[in-house]
Amino acid sequence: MSVQISNDVGGLGQPIWSSASCYGSAGRLRGLVTFPTMDNFMHVDPVPSLTSSSFTHEVLHLWGGGNLLPIQEELNGSVTGGHWGVSSEDGYLGGFSSDSLKVAADGSYKADLFWSNGSVGLERPLGFLEKYMMGVLPASEVPDTTVFRGVSQVSTNDSFATCPDDGSWSWEFDVCFRAEERTSVSIEEIIEINGERLYEGAA
Ligand SMILES: [Zn+2]
């Protein structure tokens, strides 16, 4: 879990503020990240591709995280904030890979394994908006983000799988969902709401 303590960067959807002095910091402390156990620092799963970096995830929260997107719905349709939700951000804070998104005959959607509140994989790159947020990708290079509203899960009889068995090898690990609306958010719209996060140079 992370707690922001100060922010001196504009354009993140966060106020410019600081309570760093309350923590004995001369002003540079951005926030605190806590982990319940050492194992949680890096979540190592028996299935290597499901291993994830809780550390990277929590540090991104200190920079504002998913709140940059005006729409962030979870897979169950709830709105909790902080993560990319059911969107094409495909980053440490969630979202699917847009290359994997398919529309089924019944109008529901299917994408490769993802979570709306944080995605797994240690070797995944940061999402475009995550890089923009950290100041290492200029706004001009951030593509539109596909977002969904009115999300609900496709029910199945299986307790784990969200997709019906369509005979494909990956149906158990893919993620299926329904949505009332599919739209996209451009970086111009994000800047109109939050102001521009200035580019600070290559990573
Ligand atoms: Zn989180």
Report pLDDT digits (tens) over 24-45.
Answer: 999 899 999 988 887 777 777 7
Give the percent of the chain with pLDDT over 90. Answer: 66
pLDDT of 78 > 90? The answer is yes
pLDDT of 100 > 90? The answer is yes
pTM attached to this predicted model = 0.91
The domain spans of the chain are 2-194
pLDDT of 175 > 90? The answer is yes
Q: How far is the CA of 1 from the centre of ligand 1 (A)?
A: 7
Segment 181-202, tens digit of pLDDT: 999 999 999 999 999 999 998 6
Region of residue 186 (left: phi > 0; alpha: psi -120 to 50; beta: else):
beta
Q: How far is the CA of 94 from the centre of ligand 1 (A)?
A: 9
Average pLDDT over residues 170-183: 93
Q: How far is the CA of 80 from the centre of ligand 1 (A)?
A: 10
Average pLDDT over residues 158-187: 90
Q: Which amino acid is at 143?
A: P
pLDDT of 18 > 90? The answer is yes
Q: What is the pLDDT of residue 178?
A: 96
Average pLDDT over residues 146-160: 85
Q: What is the pLDDT of residue 37?
A: 83
Q: How far is the CA of 168 from the centre of ligand 1 (A)?
A: 31
Q: How far is the CA of 105 from the centre of ligand 1 (A)?
A: 33
Q: How far is the CA of 81 from the centre of ligand 1 (A)?
A: 9
Q: How far is the CA of 58 from the centre of ligand 1 (A)?
A: 6
Q: How far is the CA of 7 from the centre of ligand 1 (A)?
A: 18
Average pLDDT over residues 71-84: 92
Q: How far is the CA of 75 from the centre of ligand 1 (A)?
A: 15
Q: How far is the CA of 150 from the centre of ligand 1 (A)?
A: 21
Give the percent of the chain with pLDDT over 70. Answer: 98
